[in-house]
Amino acid sequence: MSSSSPHALTAHWKKFLAAGVVAMAVLWYFACVGVAHHENRQALSILVGSLFWISILIGMLMLTMITRVFDAGWAPLVRRNWEHLIIALPVVILLGVVPLAFSTGFRHALWDWTNAEHLLPGGHTVGHDPILQAKSWFLNEKFFLIRISLYVLVFGALVTLLRRWSFAQDTDRTAGHTHRLHAVSAVGIPLSAVTLTMLAFDCLMALSYHWFSTMYGVWFFALSIRLALAVTVILTYKLSNGGWLDGLLNQAHRHVLGCLMLAFTVFWAYISFSQYFLIYTANIPEETFWYNIREIDAATGLKSEWWSVSMYLIFGFFLLPFLSLLFYRTKIVAGRLLTVAWIIVMGGLVDLWFNALPRQVYDKSTPEGFVVTPFLTSSLFLDLLAIAGFGAIVFALFLSSAAKNETIPVHDPRILESINYHE
């Protein structure tokens, strides 16, 4: 164990791993039972839970590369924690998305377009759907599985290179590692941008494959950075109180994180509103239905429960953090910034629910020919269990990495600047 890794924290990684394994066993049991009874909500819990952590880890990967490219002087202390965490990115994809995509039963249950016999609202099948036929160059199962495999390979390769050379610098003090990390990051940023966009298309947008948005990848990027920054604030708060950042992380570091949180809160709102505004203005049925089922109860013509969720996203996920982070003291007082971080984490989960869960399910007994998946169901417990289970595995890998490598990048060229960083 490295001399700078407090055993009191890193020694718990096996407990986190055990908790994660138990949670995964329970989740997959219920998901298998659900698919056997032609239900997909339990499998959606696994998808949402894994995507919650995938988005956080993608955000941390992007932040790691961005701070490398810009040679940010404040970043080394914080970035080392990202480097410990991002090892979990390919692991979560392998444990969550890959089994769902490569299992025929789960694939057909989640992604309607993969099942030619699936009935759509109106009574016709997916196999006779002209919209799918027009998109078949992209939405075909072989290409879909190739893309899922590429996500593991691309993110796995970037994570491996960024961690290897950063940790190697701790022992051999070679400045050349910094140049290599800059080069990898310069290539990795656009590569990750394309990869995360395709992942968002495949794992979320394709759940309702009739719908499409060219801004969807940017929305997922904005959400990922927001969640990554919020989790970073929570983690560094813990590590600054008895952990390896105790006495090192100061007010100026919190101020930078708070400013970034404010910037990406505005950016998320801009992208989300722009997507809605453009679809509303164009008024194309293949696009507007996605928002209609989230706003109006087709049976009554009144506002649906998903409309209440959208109001929470506007006022709770955007307006409340935005107004709070406008104040300087919110960004520098640890307790206040921590509160805003938790608000963003909870809002990010709701945003994923809002994007993943509502869909039109064929039901010939209704005048509309379909019902919309409700928000408040018993499966919300499985959603939270999935988040906790994947989270336990993520932090097991984080603590294991911290136990084997330096928790402070002692030979980073800018480590002294980071330790003594001031506003």
Residue 166 near residue 83 (C-beta atoms within 8 A): yes
**Residue 351 belongs to a domain:** yes
Say what the pLDDT of residue 2 is.
Answer: 45
Q: Judge residue 138's burial from the number of C-beta atoms within 10 Å of its C-beta, 0-12 exposed, 13-18 middle, 19 or more buried.
A: middle
pLDDT digits (tens, 9 = 90+) for 25-54: 999 999 999 999 989 999 999 999 999 999
**Residue 19 belongs to a domain:** yes
**Residue 268 belongs to a domain:** yes
**Residue 414 belongs to a domain:** yes
**Residue 125 belongs to a domain:** yes
State how far the Cα of 172 lies from the Cα of 235, in Å rounded to an integer.
28
The single-letter DSSP state of residue 207 is G
* Total domains in the fold of the chain: 1
Over range 326-348, report the average pLDDT.
Answer: 97
The single-letter DSSP state of residue 370 is E
**pLDDT class of 17 with cuts at 50, 70, 90:** very high
The single-letter DSSP state of residue 133 is H
Instruction: Encode burial over 392-413: b for 16+ CB neighbours within 10 A, e otherwise.
Output: bbbbbbbbbbbbebbbbbbbbe
Tell me which of 378 and 163 has the higher pLDDT: 163
pLDDT digits (tens, 9 = 90+) for 72-95: 999 999 999 999 999 999 999 999
**pLDDT class of 7 with cuts at 50, 70, 90:** low
User: What's the first-to-final CA gap in the chain, in angstroms?
Assistant: 34
**Residue 2 belongs to a domain:** no
Domain hosting 313: range is 7-419
Over range 272-296, report the average pLDDT.
Answer: 93
For the whole model, what pTM was predicted?
Answer: 0.95
**Residue 79 belongs to a domain:** yes
Question: CB count, 10 Å around CB of 152?
Answer: 16
- In DSSP notation, 139-200 reads S-HHHHHHHHHHHHHHHHHHHHHHHHHHHHHHHH--THHHHHHHHHHHHHHHHHHHHHHHHH
Question: CB count, 10 Å around CB of 3?
Answer: 8
**Residue 1 belongs to a domain:** no
The single-letter DSSP state of residue 205 is G
Q: Is the pLDDT of residue 5 over 60?
A: no
